[in-house]
Amino acid sequence: MSVLSVTEWPTPGRDLDSAMASMPARIIVDPAAITANLMALDALSEAESMSVIKANGYGHGRDVVAQAAVDAGVRWLGVAQGSEALQVAEWAARSGTEVRILTWIYDPDSLPLLIGAGIDVSVSEVSHVLYAATAAAECGRVARIHLKIDTGMSRGGATAADFRLLVAAAAQAVEVGHCEVAGVWSHLARADEAGVEGREATAAQQREFDEALAVVKAAGLGAGIRHLAASAGGLAHPGARYDMVRWGIAQYGYAPSPDVAMPAGVRPALRVEARLTLVKRVDAGRGISYGALARLDEARWLGIVPLGYANGIPRLASGKAWVSVNGHRVRQLGRICMDQFVIDLGSADREPLGSVGDIVDVLGGAGPDAAEWAEWAQTIPYEILTGMGVGVARRLAAPV
């Protein structure tokens, strides 16, 4: 088998080691971990769960995560882009899976495609309600819309003033036919903060959400599914769960922030491994990598790991990171390059801690997790996960 492209996913248990022959690094995704995580999150309350699989399933592979979510009994899949929603709809049709799909970022011109594919769409603007209803009428379908209220994030959604107009437009479209209010929703900005300011901001957003629901009711409309919380809200603010929680980062085994506690047993589902491509003895006084940010004060063994910032290893982590080789925690040295980085395999007085071909745990396994990489790179695990793995071979973890 040749090197796997991101879209060519193997079936569990299939041996893909031959892919390593040309690609000395790989991403290993464990769908069973995602399924178990979602089940643990879903069990927190009566609220339904949506599995958020935008950004290629946070780097885990969109189809793999979709299947893992369905295996957990989840029937809602959420994506940002309309293009992703269409791909999920194709996957669902291909695999004969019944799911509901919600998109919240799309070109209004693509509404006929989205509605035609049976995808639920978020609407923040009156004109989009009209486009959606028209598109539905044209293809003989019902547009399922989720009215979005901006409760304080100032990103998507109609402000309270505009929301009344949005609701009026929706009421009209529902009356004419071809349109159904499938949901009312919003997004929290500070649910991941334990401090009093964060808690107050979240409570205020919840109040604005309740007011919006009252506006919908006063217009004689059903609200459908009411959803406000993503991972942080679903975990830290039980009152924000309403009818459904949109689980993103938590289903991938990471907390939305260090302030948010996760249920026991929830674990990361993605690992990154590489093989050492070179091991050599380098003399004292030599500089390491671009700019010679690191310099050897004694002769040491250095190893080369064939991954770099082009593959999602953050350059900002240069000189701070460590990885694991044969059970040893070893330092990364000097600048991380586009396709490779250098690690310290010990004093030249002794045997090197690894040989060419040995496996390096770069992320997960015995190595650092995405939260640790995020700390070195002054970012969040979300960015590490979604950026990881461009051009890297992928396989599924063998089922246990």
Task: State the residues that interact with ligand PLP by CB under 6 A.
Answer: 52, 54, 80, 104, 187, 230-232, 246-250, 256
Report H helices in the chain: 31-42, 54-58, 62-71, 82-95, 111-116, 126-139, 160-176, 196-218, 231-236, 370-376, 381-387
Nearest-CA neighbor of 24 among 391, 345, 399?
A: 391
Instruction: State the Cα–Cα distance between residues 326 and 337, nearest whole angstrom.
Output: 23
Least distance (Å) between residue 50 CB and ligand PLP: 8
Residue 79 Cβ vs ligand PLP, minimum distance, rounded to whole Å: 9
Helix (H, G, I), strand (E, B) or coil at 334: coil
Q: Nearer Cβ to ligand PLP, position 123 or 337?
A: 123
Secondary structure of 80-115 as H, E, C letters: EEHHHHHHHHHHHHHHCCCCEEEEEECCHHHHHHHH
**Max Cα separation, the chain?**
82
Amino acid at 60: H
- Closer of 247 and 341 to ligand PLP (Cβ): 247
Question: Annotated binding residue at 155?
Answer: yes
Q: Is residue 69 within 8 Å of 51, Cβ to Cβ? A: yes
Q: Which is nearer to ligand PLP, 254 or 341 (CB)?
A: 254
Structure tokens at 273: 């491994």
Q: Which is nearer to ligand PLP, 38 or 136 (CB)?
A: 38
- Provide the token pair at 13: 């248990």
CA–CA dist 176, 178 (Å, integer): 7
- Closest approach of Cβ 69 to ligand PLP, in Å? 13
- Give the number of other CB atoms < 10 A from CB of residue 373: 27
Residue closer to ligand PLP by CB (options 20, 102) is 102
Question: CB-based contacts of 211: which residues, under 8 Å, 6+ apart?
Answer: 160
- Minimal CB distance residue for ligand PLP: 248
**Given the complex with ligand PLP, which of 209 and 247 has the nearer CB atom?**
247
State the minimum distance, in angstroms, from the CB of residue 233 to ligand PLP: 8
* Dist CA 308 CA 338 (whole Å): 5
Residue 92 or 250 with smaller CB distance to ligand PLP: 250
Measure the CA–CA gap between 1 and 398, rounded to whole angstroms. Answer: 17
Burial class of residue 142 (count of CB atoms within 10 Å of its CB; 0-12, 13-18, 19+) = middle
Minimum CB separation of residue 260 from ligand PLP in Å reads 10
Residue 63: name the closest of 22, 6, 1, 143 by CA: 6
Catalytic residues, by residue number, are 54, 290
**Sequence-ordered list of residues with C-beta below 8 angstroms from that of 50, at least 6 positions apart, any chain:** 74, 76, 77, 78, 102, 227, 244, 245, 246, 247
Binding annotation: 155, 338
Binding site for substrate, residues?
155, 338
